[in-house]
Structure 1
Amino acid sequence: MTPGTILGGLSTVPNLEEGLRAYRDVLGLELVERGELPKDLANSWGCPANVRSPYAVFRPVSGEPCWFRLVEQPAHANFRPTRTYGWAAFECTVEDVWRWPKELPADLFTIVGMPKNIANMKPTFIPMQALGPGREMVYLNEVLTPQSDLFLPPAKSPVDRIFICVLATPDREASVAWYVDALGFDRGTDYTIPYTMINKAFDLSAGTQTTLTMVQKDRMPIVEVDDYPEAATHRPRHEGMLPPGNALVTLAVNDLDACQVDWIASPALRDGALYEGRRAGTTHGRAGELLELVETQ
């Protein structure tokens, strides 16, 4: 694991059993851990009301070092995907994107974007977008060829690792600068595209352009930072609980003490899936996103 490796994405779901069906039985991920959220971990995320919440951890059958976590909590009536700041989507690499439109059951997934090439970008991957059982956004992307400025990993299993985390922010430049200055990552290329998901969510014309910037480490993409329209708002959430939908991202870093961030709680050694005895700490980014950092050294 190198600095910037996406170790995991955490989503909230109103019913963990439905989450198990979606991630294990449909997407084919391996269930590696299940239990109730311990107090110290919930507090490290600033979410004391999630203590003892049922949770599950999954991993691609390829064995790639990336963990998908689900935490059960009540749905929030005012949460609308792709309308608020914070983590907007987890982009996963898949072997065959064209199989998924007919294999995602409607009681667990809502398809919001069928597979297609992206305008204004070279045909390096074919994306598809769907909402999971917690209204979390999951992109299923089939990588075709690597870009010159980015390494896009081809899948090693039907649904494989998360290779880009999408961040919605009120100030793209400030968010990018924070990842560069506070965490030592690199600023990548800017792209301006007609972003279908954003245009649909905000009832904008199909040709409306959105600018995004890739935060990366060398050629490895990490965070896609998206400009959001002025109509976007901060995400509603239950008091003391995780944000609904795409809630938290976990990244690898060399040294937690070198990170220029304000910790929610002091970093601590943690056991179990994803951590494996390493030290971890959680902070808030400039868009209010929950970002957990795990030390590799």
Structure 2
Amino acid sequence: MEAGTSAEGAIIAGEGGARILRDVAIVTHCVESLAVALGHWTALLGYRVVESGTLGAEACAAWDAPAAAGQRYALLQPASGEDCYLRFVETGVRGHAPPASWGWIATELLVQDTDALARQLEGTGFRRLGGPADLYPRPKAPRAMQVIGPSGELIYFTRLLPGGSRYGLKQARSPVDRPFICTLGGPAGAGMHAFYAGVLGHRIMERTPFINGPLAMLCEAPADTVFPTAVASIPGRRHLLEMDEFPAHVGPRRRPAGQLPPGMSMVSFVVRSLAALAGLQPGGVPLRAPPRRLQGIAYRGRRVAVIEGAVGEWLELIEDPEAS
């Protein structure tokens, strides 16, 4: 979530870098039951299924996840019509925290009225952990709520007012809109910073101590645990990456051989060039498998490959030379 600040606008790494990542295209969650996930997200949050089926061999080859072939999935789009999707993959396993592990941990969605949504979700499969509350004492501050979804997914619902985002982010265009922040958790933040700033070339700002009770609960840590938090900017002012430093007892995410990572599995980004990865320092960024051209609403015949980040998180990269 948009954290409070200790140094307004301070940049701690990555100024003037390559900025490889562009828009977030898909956030993928592996869930125990596709029917449960779809029933809640469509009926309560206004998302609609725009594509469904089983994972094909081509996609699984691009991910180097051959054992995932044949698993049922659905691609969901917010009511705003934004080309930023949620993808649920049915694995039969409840893979979300607790306990937390390194990797993608939370999906933050834009909403128009956090308080109204809180009332709407009372007594449903979305369990409120915290909020609604302003994130810091300032006029037009973001107002957020933290929720565990029906499949165990950690969701932050955040209202932004015009002029209320310190990063120039846009407001929701539907009651519940697209993902706009993806949160990553891992050990000492320097490794995550080195990857997203030193390798991928993004600016990292605002390393701020932040108390996050819901995240502490998932990490099985005291409620007043302080999470050093930094934010990486993505060109276009539509998305951010948040990096939270986890307590020392939290470890790597375990992934069954040949499968997608469990829980919040993968975040897909548009990039201008997959070939550019080979020229990044130090020594380029290896792909999990050779790029493949994939079909479907989110891919549209573009080349796709997957890389792994500093704490084992998967980033699916969708090549689009025309990306802004």
**TM-score when normalising by structure 2:** 0.83
Query: Aligned pair in 2 of structure 1 residues 205, 76: CA closer, same or farther (>3 Å)?
Result: closer
Equivalent pairs counted in the alignment come to 295
Change (3 A) 1:58 1:85: same
- Candidates 106, 110, 113, aligned match of 1:96: 113
Could you tell me whether the CA contact under 8 Å between 2:94 and 2:263 is conserved in 1?
no
Mark the runs of 5 or more structure 1 residues left unpaired by the alignment: none
Structure 1 SS opposite 2:134:
coil
Report the secondary structure of 1:243's partner residue: coil
Q: In structure 2, what residue type is equivalent to 1:84?
A: S
- How far apart are the structure 1 equivalents of 2:312 and 2:232? 17
1:166 is matched with which residue: 183, 205, 209? 183
Q: Percent identity?
A: 30
In the alignment, the residues of structure 1 paired with residue 305 and residue 248 of structure 2 have an alpha-carbon distance, to the nearest angstrom, of: 31
Residue in 2 that maps onto 1:36: 54
| Deviation, structure 1 residue 182 | 2.9
SS in 2 for 1:103: helix
> Structure 2 CA distance, aligned partners of 1:244 and 1:108?
20
Q: Partners in 2 of 1:72 and 1:129 — Cα distance? A: 24
CA separation in 2, counterparts of 1:153 and 1:236? 36
**For residue 258 of structure 2, what is the amino acid of its counterpart?**
G
| 2:290 is aligned with 1:266 | yes
SS in 2 for 1:100: helix
Contact 1:45 1:282 in 2 (8 A): yes
Distance 1:127 1:81, change over 3 A: farther
Given the alignment, which residue of 159, 171, 176 partners 1:154? 171
Compared CA separation, residues 119 and 203, structure 1 to 2 (3 A): farther
Asked if 1:86 corresponds to 2:86, the answer is no
Task: Check whether the contact 1:149–1:219 (CA below 8 A) recurs between aligned residues.
Answer: no
Task: Find the counterpart in structure 2 of residue 288 from structure 1.
Answer: 312
Between stretches 259-268 and 146-155, larger displacement belongs to 146-155
Q: Which of 145, 158, 165 is the aligned partner of 1:128? A: 145
Question: Of residues 46, 67, 89 in structure 2, which corresponds to 1:71?
Answer: 89
Aligned to 1:25: 43
**Residue type matched to 1:126 in 2?**
R
Call closer, same or farther: CA 1:240–1:214 in 2, change over 3 Å: same
Q: Tell me, in whole angstroms, the C-alpha distance in 1 between the residues paired with 2:236 and 2:85.
A: 22
Q: Which one-letter code corresponds to 2:182 in the other structure?
A: C
**Are residues 271 and 191 of structure 1, via their aligned partners in 2, closer, same or farther at CA, if it must alter by over 3 Å?**
same
How do residues 239-258 of structure 1 correspond to structure 2 at under 5 angstroms? 239-258=257-276
- Tell me which residue corresponds to 1:278: 302
Secondary structure at the aligned position of 1:22 is classed as helix
Q: Is the 8 A contact 1:4 1:222 kept in 2?
A: no
Instruction: Classify 1:215/1:273 alpha carbon distance in 2 versus 1 (closer, same or farther; 3 Å).
Output: same
C-alpha displacement of 1:124: 2.5
CA deviation string 1:244-263 (max 9, x = no partner): 22111011111111123211
Alignment-derived partner of residue 175 in structure 1: 192
Per the TM alignment, residue 18 of structure 1 is displaced from its structure 2 partner at its CA by: 1.1
Query: Is structure 2 residue 127 aligned with structure 1 residue 110?
Result: yes
**Partner in structure 1 of residue 70 of structure 2:** 52
Contact 1:124–1:145 at 8 Å: present in 2 too?
Answer: no
Task: Give a deviation string over 1:253-290, Cα, whole Å, max 9, x none.
Answer: 11111123211111122210211122111111111111
Contact 1:82-1:88 within 8 A present in 2 as well: no
Unaligned 5+ residue runs, structure 2? Answer: 1-19, 278-283
SS in 2 for 1:115: strand
1:238 equivalent among 248, 253, 256: 256
For residue 104 of structure 2, what is the amino acid of its counterpart? W
CA shift, 1:105, in A, is 6.3
Aligned 8 A contact 2:140 2:164 in 1: no
Query: Match for residue 7 of structure 2?
Result: none
Q: 1:173 to 1:193 in 2, by over 3 A?
A: same
2:101 & 2:138 partners in 1: Cα distance? 25
- What's the secondary structure of 1:40's corresponding residue? helix
State the 1:204 CA deviation: 4.1
Q: Structure 1, residues 224-255: CA drift from partner, whole Å, max 9, x if none?
A: 01100011122234332222221110111111
Distance 1:131 1:10 in 2: 16
CA distance change for structure 1 residues 92 and 76 in 2, over 3 Å: closer, same or farther? closer
